């Protein structure tokens, strides 16, 4: 009995370690300098990396802002559009065929999809600028949002709407007073998810953005190719921070809903 | 006739759900519609409520064709099989819903809802959320929500079918009392023989998209297709 | 079909943001690969397709991508099932239910970077081994990134997909009432081991199979992780396509688009198969 108990605990400890180590490592590296083999800890801990990247021409703050603007726009548009379009699909007689069509762009590798669409983005002068990236990311986030919400528009929601109508309420009244309140938490979750899709996106962004729009993921890649691991780690920390905060709130939120 | 339905027809894809249905109903009466699932009875109610559109035929209310009136302006309440209480509103607000749509003054709403809660014996539950009350209570709230706007016609689509036997019996009694008190005119759809007999002043049978109204309860009992006879035989032969 | 304006808007949204890009992108790739458009076009030709299959690179690339996806998925499925079966309660609430979300906060590129720092020759693991006296110089540490067996890629992908499957299986464990079934099996005389292998695992696997295939479809197109942790040959499909299409050799471009065409056809056929055989949709 005691050996299995030990085995179980070791397994759990390993898992916990696997979940925590990456964050801690990246965090430490972002404050490090001079990390020669075989030392486990760097010789120096310093604020220099953060100071340089934020205040002395390292240009990480603008990247953070650009990423944030792009992700918030993509999340807003895709959630809104997806919510509307999913209703159309959900109650359509060709529901499953339309749904399959929406799955297609979502399942394709964004980077390959971007390569096939690059020509059209060039024609519309949408390469190398923020608008182009927002549009391109919408093409992957929007289908996600549609698929996400199609499950929401059930027979039951339709019955609620019909019920409101027979009680004398208009469609928009039903939408404001009943459908929206019921959908609220789902909308929030979808918004977070779409935000993350955009926030994490690298391949498609690098192709449509030509590397000119320096989002955080592009910065990470640049620092890695320059072999500057401390700056790369710092950018990684900035990338992880919002999702960690977000997931923490989101999960809490979900648990509260379940209660 | 208060409600007059003339030659209603409805087709879904290639299935003729309603062949040709005509009937009339006097005010303050309840007409039971007995039928198996899929016989077209729900569709008929939805057409009268304006949720679905018929292919042919007319629905007249008080002699007026209501075909062009949208469901939210018909004042006909359709009660679904499930109580469908709005999950984001408490019992009080669920019942008040129709009054809020009609923009009544708060004090009026308060008074009317309190009265309704009283007659439905729901007073102590008024602040509860739908998931905190039982199935029978939910159905009562759904009733109250419909009755409070004083609709000229109520359509009930197997309202008690999800309840257990005891609650069901209580609810049937409650409905009889309320129907009298509020002078309700209603169509009551059910697949339960006993319920059809109990609830209706008049009784009809629907099968394969056709509806037949019986002259009297006796005629209903005597007809072969309603299944009353075989039921009686079963009990007699025990 | 369009009784209300909102329906027109909905249809336009679907058309502009989902259907049109797909049609345009795929059409463009097809046309380019057959020489109908492009800088060097000379009218319809099969040349590019024939050139593409002169060597095995493309076939190998597809097999390699599929292998990476299967390998990392297998480990994820096994580990997350073990978690769901052994530690269901621990992972549905408390500290572990938070920890398990951690990798969800990692973009692929960050995960790839971390594992490069962790598993590389001069990485953390190597340093720990040195300090413990397991190795005596950098070179004795085995190659775990940019390596022959793609161990680094598989580990990174495993890390990224673990929370997804753990959440899936701990969820299924409850909705499918595995606990009840296990008790039932035990009361019928099954040993713990037997009920796990004959009841719990088969139920969980069957229920999750469509999700596994969907995840496989996503992972075949993986880009960032193999880009940073892989070798220059073999390459995954995404990496190969990008190299062919973004580099300066104009003769490579039509071939790159041909790869995109093959990839799209494979993915969409697979997807159609999954969605057709399972009428109900999935939560994503």
pLDDT digits (tens, 9 = 90+) for A143-192: 999 999 998 999 899 999 999 999 999 989 999 999 999 999 889 889 98
Chains C and B touch (3+ CB pairs under 8 A): no
B173-211 residues labelled b (16+ CB within 10 A) or e (exposed): ebbeebbeebebbbbbbbebbebbbbbbebbbbbbebeb
CA dihedral C31, C32, C35, C39 (to 10 degrees): 130
Residue C236 near residue C218, CB atoms below 8 Å:
no
Q: How many CA atoms lie within 13 A of A82 on its CB side?
A: 34
- CB–CB contact B71 A166 (8 Å): yes
Residue A199 near residue A67, CB atoms below 8 Å:
yes
Question: What does pLDDT average to over chain A?
Answer: 88
- The nearest alpha carbon in chain A to B150 belongs to A167
Query: Residue B206: CB partners within 8 Å, gap ≥ 6?
Result: B21, B33, B34, B35, B39, B40, B41, B44, B212
- CB–CB contact A167 B84 (8 Å): no
- Match 């680094």 to its residue by tokens: C152
- The nearest alpha carbon in chain B to A181 belongs to B88
**Most B-contacting residue of A162, A166, A257 (CB-CB within 10 A), to test interface:** A166
What integer pLDDT is reported at residue B218 of this predicted model? Answer: 85
- CB–CB contact A170 B72 (8 Å): yes
Q: Is A69 on the interface with B (CB under 8 A)?
A: no
- SS3 state of residue B153: strand
Query: Residue A258: CB partners within 8 Å, gap ≥ 6?
Result: none
Residues A91-102, mean pLDDT to the nearest whole number: 89
| Residues from chain A contacting residue B87 (CB–CB below 8 Å) | 182
| Residues from chain B contacting residue A187 (CB–CB below 8 Å) | none
What integer pLDDT is reported at residue C281 of this predicted model? Answer: 47
For the record, the structure tokens of C13 come out as 């949204």
Residue ranges in chain C modelled with pLDDT below 70: 1-3, 278-284
Of the candidates C269, C255, C245, C205, which has an alpha carbon nearest to the alpha carbon of residue C52?
A: C255
Distance of CA A59 to the CA centre of its chain: 22
**ipTM for the predicted complex:** 0.91
- CB–CB contact C9 A107 (8 Å): no
- CB–CB contact C21 A139 (8 Å): yes
pTM given for the model? 0.87
Element (H, E) at B11: strand B3-12
Nearest to A159 among B73, B76, B80 (CB): B80
- CB–CB contact B102 A182 (8 Å): no
- CB–CB contact A16 C99 (8 Å): yes
The share of chain B scoring above pLDDT 90, in percent, equals 48
Query: Residue C151: CB partners within 8 Å, gap ≥ 6?
Result: C119, C144, C145
Q: Is the dihedral of CA B184, B185, B191, B195 positive or negative?
A: positive
- SS3 state of residue A126: coil
Report the C-alpha gap between C204 and C85 in whole angstroms: 10
How close, in Å, is residue A69 to chain C by CA atoms? 18
| pLDDT, tens only, A183-237 | 998 898 899 889 999 999 999 999 999 888 999 999 999 999 998 999 999 999 9
| Residues from chain B contacting residue A155 (CB–CB below 8 Å) | none
Q: Higher pLDDT residue, A249 or A146?
A: A146
- CB–CB contact A113 C25 (8 Å): yes
Residue C195 near residue C182, CB atoms below 8 Å:
yes
How close, in Å, is residue C106 to chain A by CA atoms? 6
How close, in Å, is residue C8 to chain A by CA atoms? 9
pLDDT at A53 over 90: no
Question: What does pLDDT average to over chain B?
Answer: 90
Q: How many CA atoms lie within 13 A of C156 on its CB side?
A: 33
Query: Residue B236: CB partners within 8 Å, gap ≥ 6?
Result: none
- CB–CB contact C284 A200 (8 Å): no
**Most C-contacting residue of A38, A64, A93, A109 (CB-CB within 10 A), to test interface:** A109
- SS3 state of residue B19: strand
How close, in Å, is residue A34 to chain B by CA atoms? 58
Q: Is B125 on the interface with A (CB under 8 A)?
A: no
**Most B-contacting residue of A91, A155, A162, A167 (CB-CB within 10 A), to test interface:** A167
| Contacting A residues, span 99-138, partner chain B, CB-CB under 8 Å | none
CA dihedral A209, A215, A217, A223 (to 10 degrees): 100
- Match 């004959």 to its residue by tokens: C198
Q: Is B41 on the interface with A (CB under 8 A)?
A: no
- The values of phi and psi at residue B61, to 5°, are -120, 120
Of the candidates C74, C99, C70, which has an alpha carbon nearest to the alpha carbon of residue C167?
A: C99
Report the C-alpha gap between B124 and B26 in whole angstroms: 36
What integer pLDDT is reported at residue A251 of this predicted model? Answer: 67
- CB–CB contact A85 C122 (8 Å): no
Report the C-alpha gap between A79 and A188 in whole angstroms: 9
∠ Cα B171 B177 B183 (to 5°):
125
- Match 């390959």 to its residue by tokens: A112
Nearest to A112 among C106, C113, C238 (CB): C238
What integer pLDDT is reported at residue C2 of this predicted model? Answer: 55
Kindly list the distances between the CA atom of residue C278 and the CA atoms of C207, C273, C281, in Å, as whole numbers in the listed order. Answer: 11, 8, 7
- CB–CB contact C279 A248 (8 Å): no
Distance of CA C64 to the CA centre of its chain: 12
What integer pLDDT is reported at residue A143 of this predicted model? Answer: 95
- CB–CB contact B87 A182 (8 Å): yes
- CB–CB contact A29 C237 (8 Å): no
Task: Name the DSSP class of B163.
Answer: S
- CB–CB contact C238 A224 (8 Å): no
- The values of phi and psi at residue B123, to 5°, are -50, -50
Query: Residue C216: CB partners within 8 Å, gap ≥ 6?
Result: C66, C69, C70, C73, C270
| Residues from chain C contacting residue A143 (CB–CB below 8 Å) | 17-18
What are the counts of helices (DSSP H) followed by strands (DSSP E) for chain C?
15, 0
- CB–CB contact B72 A166 (8 Å): yes
- CB–CB contact C99 A240 (8 Å): no
- The nearest alpha carbon in chain A to C119 belongs to A22
Report the C-alpha gap between C98 and A252 in whole angstroms: 10
pLDDT at A5 over 70: no
CA dihedral A163, A167, A172, A175 (to 10 degrees): -40
Nearest to B49 among A160, A166, A171 (CB): A166
Q: Is B81 exposed, middle or buried (0-12, 13-18, 19+ CB in 10 A)?
A: middle
CB atoms within 10 A of CB A61: 12
| Residues from chain C contacting residue A124 (CB–CB below 8 Å) | none
How close, in Å, is residue B78 to chain A by CA atoms? 6
- CB–CB contact A168 B98 (8 Å): yes
Q: Is A158 on the interface with B (CB under 8 A)?
A: no
- Match 């229920």 to its residue by tokens: C207
| Residues from chain B contacting residue A173 (CB–CB below 8 Å) | 101
- CB–CB contact B102 A168 (8 Å): yes
Kindly list the distances between the CA atom of residue A62 and the CA atoms of A59, A212, A235, in Å, as whole numbers in the listed order. Answer: 6, 13, 12
Residue ranges in chain B modelled with pLDDT below 50: none
Query: Residue C54: CB partners within 8 Å, gap ≥ 6?
Result: none
Q: Looking at chain A, which subunits does it touch, using at least 3 CB pairs closer than 8 Å as the criterion?
A: B, C
- CB–CB contact C97 A251 (8 Å): yes
Query: Residue B135: CB partners within 8 Å, gap ≥ 6?
Result: B83, B162, B163, B164, B167
Nearest to A163 among B70, B75, B84 (CB): B84
| Residues from chain A contacting residue B103 (CB–CB below 8 Å) | none
């Amino acid at each position: 009995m005691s050996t299995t108990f030990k085995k179980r605990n070791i397994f759990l400890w390993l898992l916990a370690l696997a979940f925590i180590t990456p964050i801690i490592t990246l965090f430490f590296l972002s404050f490090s300098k001079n990390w020669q083999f075989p030392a486990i800890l760097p010789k120096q801990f310093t604020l220099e990396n953060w100071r340089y990247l934020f205040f002395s021409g390292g240009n990480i703050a603008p990247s953070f802002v650009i990423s944030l603007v792009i992700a918030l726009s993509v999340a807003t548009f895709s959630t809104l559009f997806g919510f509307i379009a999913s209703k159309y699909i959900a109650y359509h007689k060709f529901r499953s065929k339309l749904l399959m069509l929406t799955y297609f762009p979502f399942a394709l590798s964004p980077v390959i999809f971007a390569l096939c669409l690059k020509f059209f983005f060039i024609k519309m002068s949408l390469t190398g600028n923020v608008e182009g990236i927002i549009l391109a990311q919408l093409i992957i986030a929007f289908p996600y949002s549609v698929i996400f919400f199609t499950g929401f528009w059930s027979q039951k929601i339709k019955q609620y709407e019909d019920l409101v109508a027979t009680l004398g309420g208009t469609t928009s009244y039903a939408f404001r007073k009943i459908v929206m309140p019921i959908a609220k938490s789902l909308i929030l979750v979808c918004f977070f998810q779409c935000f993350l899709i955009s926030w994490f996106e690298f391949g498609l962004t690098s192709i449509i953005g030509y590397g000119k729009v320096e989002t955080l993921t592009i910065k990470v890649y640049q620092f890695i190719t320059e072999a500057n691991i401390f700056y790369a780690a710092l950018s990684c920390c900035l990338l992880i921070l919002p999702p960690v905060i977000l997931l923490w709130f989101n999960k809490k939120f979900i648990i509260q809903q379940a209660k | 006739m208060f409600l007059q339905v003339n030659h209603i027809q409805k087709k879904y894809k290639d299935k003729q759900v309603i062949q040709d249905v005509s009937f009339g109903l006097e005010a303050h009466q309840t007409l039971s519609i007995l039928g198996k699932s899929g016989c077209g009875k729900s569709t008929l109610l939805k057409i009268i409520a304006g949720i679905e559109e018929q292919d042919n035929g007319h629905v007249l209310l008080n002699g007026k064709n209501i075909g062009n009136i949208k469901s939210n302006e018909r004042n006909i309440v359709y009660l679904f099989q499930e109580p469908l209480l709005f999950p984001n509103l408490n019992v009080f607000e669920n019942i008040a819903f129709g009054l809020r749509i009609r923009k009544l003054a708060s004090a009026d709403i308060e008074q009317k809802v309190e009265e309704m809660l009283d007659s439905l014996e729901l007073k102590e539950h008024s602040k509860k959320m739908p998931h905190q009350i039982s199935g029978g209570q939910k159905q009562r709230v759904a009733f109250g929500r419909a009755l409070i706007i004083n609709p000229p016609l109520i359509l009930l689509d197997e309202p008690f079918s999800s309840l257990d036997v005891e609650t069901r019996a209580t609810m049937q009694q409650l409905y009889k009392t309320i129907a009298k008190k509020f002078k309700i005119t209603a169509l009551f759809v059910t697949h339960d023989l006993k319920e059809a007999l109990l609830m209706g002043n008049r009784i009809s049978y629907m099968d394969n998209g056709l509806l037949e109204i019986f002259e009297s309860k006796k005629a209903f009992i005597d007809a072969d297709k309603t299944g009353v006879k075989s039921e009686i035989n079963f009990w007699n032969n025990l | 079909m369009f009784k209300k304006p909102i329906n027109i808007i909905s249809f336009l949204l679907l058309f502009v943001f989902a259907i049109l890009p797909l049609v345009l992108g795929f059409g463009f790739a097809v046309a380019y690969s057959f020489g109908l458009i492009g800088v060097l076009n000379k009218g319809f030709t099969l040349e590019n397709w024939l050139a593409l299959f002169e060597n095995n690179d493309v076939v190998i690339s597809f097999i390699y991508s599929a292998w990476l996806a299967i390998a990392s998925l297998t480990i994820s499925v096994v580990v997350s099932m073990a978690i769901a079966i052994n530690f269901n309660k621990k992972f549905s609430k408390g500290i572990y239910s938070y920890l398990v979300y951690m990798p969800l906060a990692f973009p692929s590129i960050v995960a790839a970077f971390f594992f490069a720092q962790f598993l590389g020759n001069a990485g953390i693991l190597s340093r720990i081994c040195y300090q413990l006296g397991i190795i005596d110089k950098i070179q004795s540490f085995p190659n775990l990134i940019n390596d022959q067996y793609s161990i680094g890629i598989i580990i990174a992908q495993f890390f990224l997909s673990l929370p997804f499957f753990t959440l899936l299986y701990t969820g299924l464990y409850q909705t499918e009432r595995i606990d009840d079934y296990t008790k039932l099996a035990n009361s019928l005389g099954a040993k713990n081991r037997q009920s796990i292998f004959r009841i719990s695992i088969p139920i969980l696997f069957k229920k999750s199979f469509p999700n596994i295939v969907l995840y496989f479809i996503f992972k075949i197109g993986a880009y960032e992780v193999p880009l940073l942790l892989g070798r220059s040959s073999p390459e995954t499909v995404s990496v190969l396509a990008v190299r062919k299409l973004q580099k300066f050799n104009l003769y490579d471009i039509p071939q790159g688009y041909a790869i995109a065409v093959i990839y799209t056809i494979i993915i969409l056929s697979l997807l159609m198969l999954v969605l057709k055989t399972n009428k109900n949709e999935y939560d994503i």
